[in-house]
Amino acid sequence: MVYALVTNERTNVRNKKREGIMNGSIEVAKGRIEEAAGTLVNNDKLRAKGQMDQAMGHVKQSAEAGVRKAKDNARKFVAKAKDIAKQTVDEAGDTV
């Protein structure tokens, strides 16, 4: 039962990561379609809305990438701090 909960939680986390990235990609694609439709029917408002949606999609993708990089760096920092703490404790145990 516990394994199922942990596995389900990991799956949810992975899906949220994909969802964030896909959200930006979907917004870019939607914007391209709107821009093309606006060009096709000669509607400047729709074309501008499409361009804005594309820009927002790119911003979301960049923000997600920045968050991902920050999380990775934080994990590396914590791992290094744990290694240093363990090494310090081991050295202190050797001197006692």
Of residues 61, 35, 36, the one with CA closest to residue 49: 35
pLDDT at position 12? 66
pLDDT tens string 49-64: 999 999 999 999 999 9
- Report helix angle 2-40 to 44-95, nearest 10: 150
Spell out the domain ranges in the chain.
2-68
> What stretch of H or E contains 42?
none
How far is Cα 3 from Cα 68, in angstroms, rounded to an integer? 26
> What stretch of H or E contains 96?
none
> Looking at the predicted structure, is the pLDDT value of residue 9 above 80?
no
How far is Cα 3 from Cα 6, in angstroms, rounded to an integer? 5
pLDDT tens string 11-62: 666 666 656 556 888 999 999 999 999 999 999 999 999 999 999 999 999 9
